Chains A and B, each alone.
Chain A
């Protein structure tokens, strides 16, 4: 059965532990309602920045797992970040790409080469420690505990359908500055 970003978010939230999640685009509304108290900061207002924001957190917090919930269009905008992540080689970094083939949030326009691009292959060629592709929820549930714990950087390309909600159809949530301030407090506060 096709996975939706909402399905993915539920599994990630269930197993988050001490980790920090960096959602963007169509995982943002789902994350906000599924795990409102969790340690996270969404990439909103600077499309393509989730992988890098997650990298900075991973380098600052080597004892916690960082999970980036990226969009395929978003990753294309900062595709060089695959090399930057691979070069920095954070062991605690799991990069999930929602490969839905479209820019869902801006109206479901197709992404370049959406019918053939392979983010697993791109991550592997860039030098990620591990990369794989999963196309159904059952396998994702089974594989996720290992993808969360094995030495990173790990990339998992998820072939997903479209989400129920996008940041356009379900606007709101805390402003980015507030999310930043709250996570800073959580990590650095006494």
Chain B
């Protein structure tokens, strides 16, 4: 029996709220006057550009654009060592580009590292393994090889996965990921 995949584009404001929920969980006492609610480190992801657009102007979030995803991983480690809530918003290609740092920092360093990964090129309703795009096909096998717990964001019902997997990265002291199935909406 095959179950129908209900995939839909999730509006960016809902995703931004979910990120803030994750940050608020980590620092329930509220932020110090000098700090944002949390940091989003990114190498821009085409798939999640509507989210990035919102984050750019959001006073609660510090959005830092990095030259590479390797940098994002190491910057996230420094922020997290200093107690700052932080996550990475990247594209599947960025995951492939930075696996050595994911391994060296998030895994070997036992650094809580949460990734929101856009699956650019993913067809609605289609299983990732059936995708014509190698970038889409290899995301889950790669995460499984590295033992990185992940969930998929296929529709708005999955939004709680963001705070859940963020929390899991903090509890397990390592990497976790949420894969964004379809391009985020306005």
> Cβ of B75: which chain A residues have Cβ within 8 Å of it?
52-53, 55-56, 59, 84
Q: Which residue of B lies closest to A177 (CB)?
A: B110
- Structural contact, B70 and A177, CB atoms closer than 8 A: no
Among B16-59, those with CB < 8 Å from A are: 34, 39
| Complex-state Cα separation, A48 to B108, whole angstroms | 16
> Cβ of B125: which chain A residues have Cβ within 8 Å of it?
none
Say yes or no: is B160 at the interface (Cβ < 8 Å to chain A).
no
Among A43-87, those with CB < 8 Å from B are: 43, 45-46, 48-62, 78, 80-81, 83-84, 87
- Structural contact, A60 and B108, CB atoms closer than 8 A: no
26 contacts between A and B (CB under 8 A): A41-B81, A45-B104, A46-B100, A46-B104, A49-B101, A49-B104, A53-B74, A53-B77, A55-B75, A55-B78, A56-B86, A58-B78, A59-B75, A60-B83, A78-B67, A78-B70, A78-B71, A80-B68, A81-B67, A81-B68, A84-B66, A84-B71, A88-B64, A176-B104, A177-B110, A180-B109
> Cβ of A183: which chain B residues have Cβ within 8 Å of it?
81
| Complex-state Cα separation, A51 to B71, whole angstroms | 8
Say yes or no: is A181 at the interface (Cβ < 8 Å to chain B).
yes
> Cβ of A84: which chain B residues have Cβ within 8 Å of it?
64-67, 71, 75
Chain B: how many interface residues by the 8 Å CB criterion? 33
* Residues of B in contact with A (beta carbons under 8 Å apart): 34, 39, 62, 64-68, 70-84, 86, 100-101, 103-105, 108-111
Decide: A59 near B81, CB < 8 A? Known: A52-B71, A78-B71, A181-B110: no
Say yes or no: is A141 at the interface (Cβ < 8 Å to chain B).
no
- Structural contact, A57 and B78, CB atoms closer than 8 A: yes
Say yes or no: is A187 at the interface (Cβ < 8 Å to chain B).
yes
- For B81, give its contact among A49, A52, A80, A184 (CB under 8 Å): A184
User: Shortest beta-carbon distance, B29 to chain A, in Å?
Assistant: 13
Say yes or no: is A169 at the interface (Cβ < 8 Å to chain B).
no
| Complex-state Cα separation, A55 to B36, whole angstroms | 16
Chain A: how many interface residues by the 8 Å CB criterion? 35
- Structural contact, B84 and A60, CB atoms closer than 8 A: yes
The A interface is mostly helix, strand or loop, or mixed, namely: helix
Q: Which residue of B lies closest to A41 (CB)?
A: B81
> Cβ of A188: which chain B residues have Cβ within 8 Å of it?
82-83
> Cβ of B82: which chain A residues have Cβ within 8 Å of it?
56-57, 59-61, 187-188
> Cβ of B103: which chain A residues have Cβ within 8 Å of it?
46
Q: Which residue of A lies closest to B62 (CB)?
A: A59
- Structural contact, B79 and A59, CB atoms closer than 8 A: yes
> Cβ of A45: which chain B residues have Cβ within 8 Å of it?
104-105, 108-109
User: Shortest beta-carbon distance, B90 to chain A, in Å?
Assistant: 14
Contact with B along A148-167 (1 / 0, CB 8 A): 00000000000000000000
> Cβ of B71: which chain A residues have Cβ within 8 Å of it?
49, 51-52, 55, 78, 80-81, 84
| Complex-state Cα separation, A130 to B130, whole angstroms | 52
| Complex-state Cα separation, A188 to B82, whole angstroms | 7
| Complex-state Cα separation, A62 to B79, whole angstroms | 11
A-B contact sample (9 more), CB < 8 A, given A49-B73, A52-B71, A59-B78: A46-B100, A49-B70, A49-B74, A53-B75, A54-B78, A59-B62, A59-B84, A84-B67, A175-B108
